[in-house]
Amino acid sequence: MIKSQKVTFEGSSGQQLAGIIDAPEGHVRGWGVFSHGFTLGKDSPAAARICKELAAQGVGMLRFDNIGLGGSSGDWSEGSFTHKVADTVKAAEYMASLGKAVSLLVGHSFGGAAVLAAARQIPGLDAVATVGAPFSPKHVEHVFDSALDAILRDGSAEVDLGGKRVEIRRHFVEDLANADLTDCIRSLHKPLLVMHSPTDNTVGIENASTIFRTARHPRNFISLEGSDHLLTGKGQAARAARIISAWAEQYLDAAPQP
């Protein structure tokens, strides 16, 4: 059994970010923060199902909406990859303020890139897991590449992302161009689990290979064969969460259950 609590905390630029803490009802093995994909939000299938299953396995998780998404205030178009990384750090700081120091970061897709960049800024962090993450944050440009020239020329453009109209501004594109995860991954100095589906048609599995090759030990790779990028198929997200839970067992710093 788990209990889910709605929370709000201040983001890196002052907006109130909406989150949910999925907590175990029994013994807590550790606490973590989940970073969602590009415009997916805390209630997307991957975010909700992974966090709930981790909580059922004894790992409490905070999942939250980035600026302008879901229940969070602000304008999504004012954000950036750098902003997303900073808000991930703020989420960990918020958990620490509740006495729930974060041991684990989990990121899905674009959020996987964010946790790789944020990890070094979170004191006491023990482990990082990515699911379907791109090696380069710039990879996300493929979802709005038809509007890229207009964004750079005019300063912004509206694009359709999965039926949702969003504005993407030049500063977002420029921030992506400057984001390089190579040093973040190479100097992570934390156990890393890279999970990816070989049939992921959104973020190709070569991204996982590059992340894995760039990382230092301890590092592990798990193939999520049969899964789609969004982990929408029956049992896909829960399976990923159970793998993360088992892998993280030796790294979580909560006191052992008597």
Predicted local distance difference test score (pLDDT) of residue 67: 96
Are the beta carbons of 83 and 12 closer than 8 angstroms?
Answer: yes
Say how far apart CA 49 and CA 243 lie, in whole Å: 13
Say how far apart CA 161 and CA 123 lie, in whole Å: 35
Say how far apart CA 173 and CA 152 lie, in whole Å: 8
Predicted local distance difference test score (pLDDT) of residue 255: 42
Evaluate whether residue 30 is within a structural domain.
yes
Evaluate whether residue 256 is within a structural domain.
no
Say how far apart CA 253 and CA 258 lie, in whole Å: 15
Predicted local distance difference test score (pLDDT) of residue 16: 98
The one-character DSSP state at 217 is: S
Predicted local distance difference test score (pLDDT) of residue 123: 94
Evaluate whether residue 143 is within a structural domain.
no
Predicted local distance difference test score (pLDDT) of residue 256: 44
Q: Find the domain containing 45 and state its range.
A: 2-138+180-248
Evaluate whether residue 229 is within a structural domain.
yes
CA dihedral over 66, 44, 182, 153, signed as positive or negative: negative
Cis omega before residue 218 (within 30°)?
yes
Are the beta carbons of 237 and 231 closer than 8 angstroms?
Answer: yes
Evaluate whether residue 77 is within a structural domain.
yes
Evaluate whether residue 134 is within a structural domain.
yes
Predicted local distance difference test score (pLDDT) of residue 254: 53
Provide the CATH number for the domain around residue 34: 3.40.50.1820
Q: Residue 144 is which amino acid?
A: F
Evaluate whether residue 151 is within a structural domain.
no
Give me the number of domains the chain comprises.
1
Per-residue pLDDT of the chain (258 residues; tens, 9 = 90+): 899 999 999 999 999 999 999 999 989 999 999 999 999 999 999 999 999 999 999 999 999 999 999 999 999 999 999 999 999 999 999 999 999 999 999 999 999 999 999 999 999 999 999 999 999 999 999 989 999 999 999 999 999 887 778 899 999 999 999 999 999 999 999 999 999 999 999 999 999 999 999 999 999 999 999 999 999 999 999 999 999 999 999 999 654 443
- Provide the whole-model pTM: 0.95
Are the beta carbons of 175 and 80 closer than 8 angstroms?
Answer: yes
Q: Which residues of 240-254 are buried (b: 16+ CB within 10 A; e: fewer)?
A: bbbbbbebbeebbeb
Residue 170 main-chain phi, psi, to 5 deg = -55, -40
Using CB atoms within 10 Å of the CB of residue 183, give its burial: 0 to 12 exposed, 13 to 18 middle, 19+ buried.
Answer: exposed
Evaluate whether residue 6 is within a structural domain.
yes
Q: Residue 101 is which amino acid?
A: A
